[in-house]
Chains A and B, each alone.
Chain A
Amino acid sequence: MMRRYFTLWNVILLSVFAVLFFLVIYPMFSIFYASFQDPETGQASLESYQKIFRLPYYLRCLRNSLWVSGLSTLLSLMIGIPFGFFTSRYHLPGKSLIKTLATLPLILPTFIGAEAWILLLGRNGWLSNLLKQVGITLPSIYGWQGIVLVFTLQFFPFVFLMVSASINSIDRSLEESAGNLGAHPWRVFRTVTLPIVTPSVVAGALVVFYMSIENFGVPQLIGEDYRVLAVQAYNEFISEMGGNPSMAGALSTVLVLITFLVTFVQKYWVERKSYSMSSLRPPEIKRLKPFPTFCVWLFCAAIVFIALSPFLVILLSSITKNQGPVMYFGQFSLKNLTQAFRIAPRPIFNSFFLSTVATLIGIVFGLAVSYLVVRRRGPVTYLLDLLMILPLVVAGTVLGIALAATYNKGRIVLTGTWMILVLAYFIRKVPFSIKTTSSILQQIDASVEEASINLGVPPVRSFLKVVVPAMLPGIAAGAIMMWVTTLAELSSTIILYYGPWTTMTVQIFQYVGSGDFGPASAYGTILILSVLIPLFFLHRFLGRDVTATL
């Protein structure tokens, strides 16, 4: 009986490996392979790589990518670290609201942020027009400035979250004992607090860098001629003059190498450097004098306001009268919303349908992987745990290119079906599901399962009857996170979608590209609300912080 039981899990293990192979490893290998082929003759060639590192046109893409990502990381640290310190160490009015709102930019789609900044500060932007009337001309939002602005405002919460989690894990006695040993408060901060927080700061910085370099929508919308790797890979692949698979492959490979390096450092260096402490008494929350409190509060509140204002702009724009690209702020109209709902609801349906199917597959897959990795420890499951980094490493654009190039011919043809979208979403977002389910599974002692088996229920049924119900809150949290982030997915969708399966994100993207901010904002509003409402319920009913999953 025991033998048969093991075989069942082996079948599951094998299917998990097969999924990883067909959705990540094989497609990645095939674009990697293509990158070493001359597109015309099919001969082995290093030409594409030579071009990237020799031709200024391509070299600039690499430099641009590193520049915007590096700068955004630096600015995120400059905002995120003080924000984290202030909100964890000082009493501030409305602090819990500020902290909750500050995490929202992480979940809201970045390309909608880009659209909003164009509406505000673009060529015909509301704010730039307003300032022009009083004689102030702002520097252009297009190019790297705009990209960095959007990245910084949307990604700084990663730094803030990691820093505040780390600060709160320092037991009060640690700083007290440093003080007791004769160190001044500043010295305590420098020699005790800061070194403990450093690994988290680095971890936050790496996440920001990674998120920035793999982003496609923001540089595409607001960068204009400022090309980055993700955008260039997309252009090479989609090019109207017939794509260049070799060049697209080479650019993807370079991008993946960078993201792989970042992820690797994150996982193996930072995690090892982190100090784990069981904090018994969290640090004291200090009360500052009124004026310093006001200054600190103003800093935090202003940051949150600026970071969220783009989304308010979108909500406002969706009910504003417009004529083509010209928005008449102050004059209201429901035309765009009704149009989205009545005349063109298909993208809404598509987004919901695709996300739901991808999430359902993700729940099952996440459950299986978590069980294997947490409960059946061994060399094979360890390998599985390692391989599960792959979906995280591959940027959305790259995954899209890889899947499209692999499954457009041969035995399995998926390009041009809705299934390829579901598969791309599933593999890209399933780490959310795995992370939440495996962390909750780790908290459930294996003896609970054994107790059930001991009481007469066979192993697989025991798992379903006892472990799964106990895991439900975690599964639900992971599923909701997977669902909302899939809904907002653009970078692989833009490569894999086709006519009837246009999603909301593609629709918004195209409307912004053609300057139709009215309908773009209408879909944007629907998308923002579809993301926020489930998260609200997650927060309300499961008492679960969204941020635990990120």
Chain B
Amino acid sequence: MRVRLNGITKTFGSLKALDRVSLLIEEGKFFTLLGPSGCGKTTLLRVIAGFASPDSGEIFFGDQRINHIPPYKRETGMVFQNYALFPHLDVFGNVAYGLRARRIPKEEIRSRVHQVLKKVQLESLSRRFPGQLSGGQQQRVALARALVIHPRVLLMDEPLSNLDAKLRVAMRQEIRKIQRDLGITTVYVTHDQEEAMAVSDSIAIFNHGAIEQVGTPSEIYFRPQNRFVAEFTGTSNLMEVKVTAYDEEASLLTGDLKGNRVFLRCTQKPAGETLTILLRPEWIKIARDEEEPSTNLFHGQVVSSTFVGFMVKYQVKAFGDQVLAIEVQDPQEHEIKKEGDLIYFRFHANRPVVIAS
């Protein structure tokens, strides 16, 4: 089912929880609302489920406008952050609940419940009560309970936030696999950017009740449109560059970075005179010394050096008093620098992203 939101606004007192949010979620897609806590993403999910009614704006499932439809008739399957399992019903009873409400024949209920429990690998636990299950198992019950009614849209509100780190990674892969198998339109809320990238077809980044950017995980990471998106989706080095020249044929921009000449690939001439550029820590490479001939070769002083096994994380003071994060994979290739050491680094002219400031 395609979900379309049109200019959704919702205020709580003086707080604007949602500010003219418009979104199009294509049929069968895994769509994630990502943002810091209090940004309005959960409110939007509750608007879709019908638990919060927007002050203005429209919600469509397919071509049907559903603003006036009460939550219990919306046919959405919601997985709550705390699972919200019915404590007095066993696993079977929990999963069958929605089917019984729909007055589906007993035989069919039994087979559908067993089918979905098999899918989430809980068949053997159908007579257990929620209190007797681990966090991960409760999570699966909540998912099964939402899926079994064949909802038009699956809604998930930070479903993994109560699990430990390892289980979280395993569960998110499982959720993604089940979603693909069933081809069910899914709206997923999280504040964990890695989780969002791992599972989503599309991500909408939220801040202060408004959407900052919508795109695929790689678009979001490699081409963030603004500072907030850049900083929220990963470690970011942001630098101010003064434009000195632009070569249209080569799409090459020459700029001044605190007195250093820097080359950037740019498909069109930027509007302003000063640009903000983004460099992810892993886009920066370590050079052996200044003799290595390269463009965009700079040097700085190591402020801190953290060895975490598969890589070294450096904090490097360069371009005056700016501190850059640099991450070097396979650290044995280079000598690991210590605090206070001089370090040479470079980056390809293709790499930096110009951020609209």
| Chain A interfacial positions (CB closer than 8 Å to B) | 1-2, 5, 444-445, 447-448, 450-459, 462, 466, 469-470, 472
Contact = CB atoms under 8 A, between A and B. Distances in A.
Interface string B59-89: 0000000001011111111101110111110
Contact of A456 (B49, B51, B86, B98): B98
Contacts of B186: none
Contact of A453 (B68, B72, B75, B149): B72
B104 to A, nearest CB: 11
A457 B74 CA distance: 11
B53 A2 contact: yes
A458 B72 contact: yes
B86 A470 contact: yes
Which of A444, A455, A458, A472 has most B Cβ within 10 Å?
A455
Contacts of B87: 444, 448, 470
A470 B101 CA distance: 18
Contact of B72 (A448, A459, A466, A469): A459
A477 to B, nearest CB: 16
B95 to A, nearest CB: 10
A455 B72 CA distance: 6
Interface in B15-65: 49, 51, 53
Given A458-B70, A459-B72, A470-B88, A450 B97 contact: no
B339 to A, nearest CB: 35
Given A1-B68, A447-B82, A457-B72, 12 more contacts: A5-B70, A448-B84, A452-B97, A454-B49, A454-B71, A454-B76, A455-B77, A455-B98, A455-B149, A458-B72, A466-B88, A470-B86
Nearest to B53: A2
Contacts of B114: none
A445 B84 contact: yes
B75 A456 contact: yes
B166 interface: no
17 contacts: A2-B70, A447-B80, A447-B84, A448-B85, A450-B78, A451-B84, A451-B85, A452-B97, A453-B51, A454-B49, A454-B71, A454-B74, A454-B146, A456-B73, A459-B72, A469-B86, A470-B88
Contacts of B101: 455-457
A456 B72 contact: yes
Contacts of B72: 453-459, 462
B334 to A, nearest CB: 46
Nearest to B94: A451
| Chain B interface extent, by class | 20 to 34
Nearest to B80: A447
Contacts of A469: 86, 88
A365 B75 CA distance: 33
B301 to A, nearest CB: 43
Given A2-B70, A459-B72, A462-B72, A450 B149 contact: no
B145 interface: yes
Contacts of B85: 448, 451
Given A447-B84, A450-B84, A451-B84, A1 B51 contact: no
A447 B68 CA distance: 21
A466 B86 contact: yes
A447 B321 CA distance: 50
Contacts of A470: 86-88
B181 to A, nearest CB: 22
A464 to B, nearest CB: 12
A458 B88 CA distance: 19
Interface in B92-148: 97-98, 101-102, 142, 145-146
Given A1-B70, A462-B72, A454 B86 contact: no
A456 B149 contact: yes
A1 B7 CA distance: 23
A450 B83 CA distance: 11
A444 B71 CA distance: 20
Nearest to B73: A456
Contacts of A447: 80-82, 84
A2 B54 CA distance: 13
Contacts of B82: 445, 447
A454 B75 CA distance: 7
Most buried by B among A453, A456, A458: A456
Q: Which of B77, B85, B88, B98 has the most CB of A within 10 A?
A: B88
Contacts of B75: 456
A456 B73 CA distance: 6
What are the 9 A-B residue pairs with the smallest beta carbon separation, nearest first?
A455-B98, A447-B84, A1-B70, A451-B84, A456-B101, A469-B88, A447-B80, A454-B78, A457-B101
A111 to B, nearest CB: 41
A452 B77 contact: no
B295 to A, nearest CB: 56
A454 B87 CA distance: 17
A217 B271 CA distance: 91
B342 to A, nearest CB: 47
A453 B82 CA distance: 16
Contacts of A458: 70, 72
A451 B68 CA distance: 19
Contacts of B84: 445, 447-448, 450-451
B43 to A, nearest CB: 14
B67 to A, nearest CB: 11
A201 B134 CA distance: 40
Contacts of A462: 72
Nearest to A450: B51
Given A2-B53, A447-B80, A453 B86 contact: no
B102 A456 contact: yes
- Residue of A447, A451, A459, A472 most packed against chain B (CB within 10 A): A451
Contacts of B97: 452, 455, 457
A448 B98 CA distance: 13
B127 to A, nearest CB: 17
A453 B71 contact: yes
Contacts of B88: 466, 469-470, 472
Contacts of A2: 53, 70
A455 B94 CA distance: 10
A118 B98 CA distance: 63
B230 to A, nearest CB: 34
Contacts of B149: 455-456
Contacts of A452: 86, 97
A462 B146 CA distance: 16
Contacts of A466: 86, 88
A3 to B, nearest CB: 10
A10 B174 CA distance: 45
Contacts of B73: 456
B145 A455 contact: yes
A385 to B, nearest CB: 21
A450 B98 CA distance: 12
B52 to A, nearest CB: 10
Nearest to B77: A454
A5 B53 CA distance: 14
A450 B145 CA distance: 13
Nearest to A457: B101
Most buried by A among B68, B71, B82, B149: B71
A1 to B, nearest CB: 4
Nearest to A472: B88
Contacts of B49: 450, 454
Nearest to B76: A454
A454 B86 CA distance: 13
For B53, B78, B81, the residue with the greatest tally of chain A CB atoms inside 10 Å of its CB is B78
Given A459-B72, A470-B87, A451 B80 contact: yes
A469 B73 CA distance: 23
A469 B94 CA distance: 13
